[in-house]
Structure 1
Amino acid sequence: MTNRDTSSQTLQDQIRSLSELTLSTIEQFEISTERITRECVVCVTDKSIDEFEGIFADTCVHIERTICNSCVYENTKYIVEDSMIYVGDVSCPEPNCNGKFDHNGIRQILLFIGKNKQLFEKYDLHLMYRQLEHMPEFLWCAYNCGSGQLYETGSSNPAVTCKKCNRSTCFKHRVVWHTDMSCDQYDLLNNQPSETDATNKWLEIFAKQCPQCHWHIQKYEGCDHMTCRQCKHEFCWICFVDYKLIASKGASQHKTTCSHYQPEASPTTEAT
C-alpha cells in the first residue's frame, strides 16, 4: 500500500469517528432534553418541557408558560362546553396575561392537543350563533339548552319549538311560551300596554337579575353555579354570592340561608 493510500484511509477513519461522535452527542442531547421538566402551576405535576412550548395567541404577554398543555386544554374545554360561560372568546389562563385565544389558537388546543373534534365543531357552532343572534329572525331557546334558530314567521306563529329540546319559546316576548294564552292575552293578563313592559313583568316573576349588571337570567335546570351571559359575572343562583369567593374559600362563603352553605371546619387542637 502506498503512502497516499494510507493517508486516504486514515482520513476516512477520522471522518467516520467524527461522524459517530457527532451522532452520539446528538443522541445524548435528545435524551437530556427529554429529561428536562417543569412543574405546572395548575396541576402541580412535573411535566416534560415539551408540554410548555408554544403560544396560542399573539396577544399573550407572558415570557414563558407555567401551565402545561393538558391544563390549557382542560380550561378551554370547560369554557367552550358551558354555554352559560362561553361568549365567543377564551382568555389565556396564564397568570397576569390578558391574551385572547383566536379561532386558530382554540383550534390548535382542541384538535391537536386535546384531539377533540366534536368539541371543536361545537365551538364553531357557537361562533355561528354569535353572528346569527344579531339578526331579528334569530331566537335563542328560552330554556337555555344552548340552541337557537332562525324563524321567519314569528309575527304570525309566535310559538317556536326548539329543534334540540322540543320545548317552546315565545318569539314576540323572548320568554318561555305562555301555555294556553295568546300573546294578546298574555299582555292583557299583565295589564301592560306594551310588549316590552309585559316581558319585563314576566321576567320579574320567572327570572333573577345578575347581581353585577342586573341582566335578567332564567334557569330551568342544571347546577346553581351561574355565569351571566352579559357580563360573565359568576355567582350562586340561590344566595347571589360571588363564586370566585366560594371557589377560593369554600362553601362557608355562601349565605347561611343558602342550601349550599357549609360551616367552616374549626381547627382541631391537640391536648396539652
Structure 2
Amino acid sequence: MSNSNDKDDLIIYDDNDDIKDLSSDSGDEVAMEEVTNAGTSTAGTLSNEEIRDYQVLSQTELVDELNKLSSETSAVLRFNGSICKALLHHFKWNKVTLIERFYEIPETSNTDSFFRNANLLDPTKHSKIEGKVDYCKICYELRQLTGLLCNHLFCRQCWSNYLSCKILDEGRPYVTCPELRCTIVADDEFVLKNVDNKQALRSYHKLVLNSFVECNILIKWCPAPECGRAVKVPHCEPRKILCKCGCLFCFSCSQQWHEPISCDLLKKWQKKCIDDSETSNWLSANTKDCPQCQVTIEKDGGCNHMTCKNLSCRFEFCWMCLGPWAPHVSGSGWYSCNRYDDDAAKRARDSQERSRAALQRYLHYYSRFTNHQNSLKLERKLFEKVSEKMEQMQVLGFSWIETQFLQKAVEILIECRRTLMYTYVFAFYLVQNNITKMFEDNQSDLELATEQLSEYLERELPNEKVAEVKQKVQDKYRYVEQRRQILLKHCVEGRERNEWEFCQATIENKTDFKGM
C-alpha cells in the first residue's frame, strides 16, 4: 500500500472568488464575533459548566475537524487524504467502522471488492493513464485526455463541465465517471484539479462539509439562518445549546429550546397547531349534518327550525334534537322539544359537546401559548429601552457595570416567557391527577411574577430613586428566576418518578434535559 504525504486540506472560495485555506485565521471571523456578542443576550444565559460542555465551531474549525479526521485515517490506512475522504464519505464519516472493515479483509483476498463497494478502485493496484492525446468521447475534439483510475478518458474541459453540472444541478459531492455504467467516483483531488467553475467548487465544498456534519451524531448545524456555525457535543441527547449568533436551541431536534417538554411532544404540538384536524373540530362544534342527506349545515340565526338548503333534500328538522320538524309544531310545542331525550339525538348532541369541549380545551392552552409567544417577541424590544435607561443611569453617575442589572432582568424575563410558553404545551397533553395541581400552582406563580417583572421594566426610570429601583428590579428578577427553576425542577422530578401521564402522545420518561 502506498503512503502519500500530499496535503489534501479542504479549501473553499470566499465571496470574492479567491481561494483561501480555511485552516487559517480570517478577519471575517473577528467581525462575526463582534456580532454574536451583541446577539447572545437576546437568547438567554448558560452556566459556565454548560458552555464548557460543548463547542461552537466556525466553518474554519469544521474544516479543521474534517481534515483532522482524514489525516488520522490516512495515517492508519496509508492512503492519501483524498482517497480517505471518499472512503469516509461512504462510511458516513465513521473512522472506526472504516478502519475495522478494511482490516477485516483477509490478507489473501483482493481489496478491489472493498474499494468497489465505495465506488473506488484500489490505488495500489490501479494507475492512471496520463498525457494521452486522442479524441474525447464527449466533445469529439482531439485533445489531451485525463481520467480516474478506471481510465475512462475525457478532455479536461468536458470533465469540468460534467462535474460542475452534477454538483450544481444534482447536489452530489461525489460524482461518478461519465462513462456508461461506470460507478467509480471522482475524489477530492481530481475535482479540485479539473473543475474551473468557482460556483461549483463552492457548492462542492459545502456539500462535503454538510455531509460531514449530517452524518456525525455529535455535530449539528446551528438552525439560525445565515449563521453557518455548528455545535459539537460530547454526548447526543436533548440539551440546551447557545450558539455564538445568539440562537438558543435544542441539540436533539434543532428547534427552539423547549423545556420542560420533550422533542416528541413539541413535534406533536407543532403538527396539531397546523393540522386541518383543528378545522374539523371547529366544524364539529359549530355545524351539524342534515339528518336526511348529511350535508353540513351552519346555524346562522336564532330559530331552531332548520330547512336543508340542498335542493334535492329540503328536509325540515329541529336543530336541537335533529328530529323532523313537524312534531314540534303540535302538542306541547317545539320549546319543550318532546324528542329531546331520543337516544339517537342524545348521541348526536353528546358527540357535538365532546367536540366543542375538546376545541375549547385546545383553544384555552393554544391562546396562552401564543400570548407568551407574542409577548416574547415584543419583549425582545425591551433591550432597546433598557439600553436607553442604562445610558440615563450612567449620566447620573452609575458605572456601566452597575447598570447591567437591567439587561440581566430582561434576559431572565425572556427565559421565563419561553418557559411559560412551553408549560402550556406540557399542560395540554398532561392527564390530570393529584400532582398536576402542584404543577398548575407553580405555573400560576411563575406567570404572575413574570407579568409583574415585565410591567416594572416597562416603567420610566425615576431619576431620584435609581438605587431603590435597582434593588427592586434585582429582587424581582431573582424571585422570578427562582420560581422558574422550581417549576422546571418539579417537571423533571415528576418525570423521574413516573408521576406524569400524557395523553395522545408517547413520551419516554427517561428523556432528560441538560440545562434545566
What TM-score do the two structures reach when normalised by structure 2? 0.22
Which structure exhibits the higher relative contact order, with contacts defined as CA atoms closer than 8 Å and separated by 6 or more residues?
2
TM-score with structure 1 setting the length = 0.37
**Bigger strand fraction:** 1
**Structure 1 or 2: larger helix share?**
2
